[in-house]
Amino acid sequence: MASLGHDVVGIDRDSERIASLAAGRAPFFEPGLDRLLAEQLASDRLRFSADMSDAASAEVHFLAVGTPQGPGGAADLSHLESALDALRPALASGALVVGKSTVPVGTAARLAEIVAARGARLAWNPEFLREGHAIDDTLRPDRIVYGVVGEADAAVLDAVYAGVLSHGMPRIVTDLATAELVKTAANAFLATKISFINAMAEVAEASGADVARLAEAIGHDPRIGHRFLGAGVGFGGGCLPKDIRAFQARADELGVGEALAFLGEVDRINQRRRDRVVTLAAELLGGDVAGRRIAVLGLAFKPDSDDVRDSPALDIAVRLHAAGAHVRATDPHAIPAARRVQPELDYRDTLDEALSRAELVLLLTEWREYRLLDPAATRIRVSGLRLIDGRNALDAEAWRAAGWDYRALGRAFASRGIAAPAAVGALDV
């Protein structure tokens, strides 16, 4: 917002976070963010505060707090509610409060009444950014959606987003409920697409087919498309898993639970991929992982992020550790975050240390440096030439040619020791 020319104050009740931001350090890893932060702090358009009264002069207030998973899968709205409670006394009459958080449909209408009691108004403006691409997705989104109660509020948002809208992306103006639903529907669709291809991976494994080749072929149909057809250990993170659960919980409340029952299956397919890696690891090590040395490459839920919330990689590492394996786990950025939630794992800062004398290597987050691993050079660091490519990120043929027992999810050829088909073009996810 500051880079778009607005005067911005960022407020959080966590004063450590505020101090870090004010010093130009983002509290998490996101490519390009530290630099943008430094530029905008230097411009004097951006400051941070733990004191909500600093928001009093603002014309537009964005609510961007998290809505984590609560009991029974429903969204926990307590952060959102307490942020709005704290903001209320600072709200000037005529101000616009804009919700960004992902919420159960119907939340905005309820919050609009609270805001109206102060003579202010509420709009809902869902966020579609992906971690690892946050800056680009924010400054050049593929669409902008406003849920508003009146045209005047759309005009305020147009002024806020003028610098973004000038790129010409679609702008959809709708009611509050539809705007809330657009976000949950989009994430549910993406999760379903990933679980669809992972379901095909299960069938491919059972039938001797190759899911990567299948994804390439069906993706050429423009109605299907290649993106989000990457089979592997499945989706994680702070959004897709909890959003599909919260969506089902809300549908149940609305009496239409049956309509979203399939999302339960989407979730189960996703969890089964993690089970499959744990079983395959045992299979490759002769039936039991106890006492065996396993290198886990990747802990973040996806590359270019240090987020380990519901990360398939961390989950698999923890399960193998619990089964008695000597797991050495590494990640270019996510070790501190992983250590905070799973202190018992053996973390190694370098790839060399993690690989050293491993009997089995698991690639679980497709960081660029892991995709570029050289099979011959990796050979001499380990003590067993076994590899599970949990992201279908490596060139199967090259690894097999270098003598590795290469396995990948949904690619039966990799288990039968036959040559891999010609390289599949990298899927753009």
- CA-derived radius of gyration, the chain: 23
Q: Is residue 338 close enough to count as binding ligand UGA by CB under 6 A?
A: no
If binding is defined by CB under 6 A, does position 194 make contact with ligand UGA?
Answer: yes
What are the residues facing 11 on neighbouring strands?
49
Strands of the 293-297 sheet, one edge to the other? 346-347, 326-330, 293-297, 360-363, 386-389, 405-408
Run of H or E including 272? helix 262-284
Q: Coil, helix or strand for 376? A: helix
382 is catalytic: no
Q: Which of 234, 298, 390, 410 binds ligand UGA (CB under 6 A)?
A: 234
Measured CA to CA, the distance from residue 120 to residue 17 in angstroms comes to: 28
Among candidate residues 122, 188, 190, 239, the one labeled active-site is 239
Query: Which member of 107, 187, 342, 378 binds ligand UGA (CB under 6 A)?
Result: 187
Inter-residue contact 55 to 11 (CB < 8 Å): yes
Which is closer to ligand UGA, CB of 95 or CB of 409?
Answer: 409
Cβ proximity to ligand UGA, 128 vs 262, nearer residue = 128
Mind giving me the DSSP string for 377-413? HHHTT-SS-EEEETTS-S-HHHHHHTT-EEEETTBTH
Q: Are 429 and 230 contacting, i.e. CB atoms less than 8 angstroms apart?
A: yes
Least distance CB 310 / ligand UGA (angstroms) = 8
d(CA 361, CA 384): 9
What residue number has its CB nearest to ligand UGA?
Answer: 230
Q: How many helical (H) and strand (E) elements, i.e. helices and strands, does the chain have?
A: 18, 13
Which is closer to ligand UGA, CB of 47 or CB of 371? 371
The interface region with ligand UGA, picked from 72-80, 108-116, 127-135, 170-178 by CB under 6 A, is 127-135
Taking the complex as a whole, the smallest distance from the CB of residue 29 to ligand UGA amounts, in Å, to: 13
Q: Which listed residue (10, 236, 375, 390) binds ligand UGA by CB under 6 A?
A: 236
Nearer to ligand UGA, 115 or 134 (CB): 134
Site size toward ligand UGA (CB under 6 A) is 22
Say whether residue 130 binds ligand UGA (CB under 6 A): yes
Catalytic machinery residues = 239
Residue ranges that bind ligand UGA, judged by CB under 6 A: 102, 127-131, 187, 190, 194, 228-230, 232, 234-237, 239-240, 301-302, 429
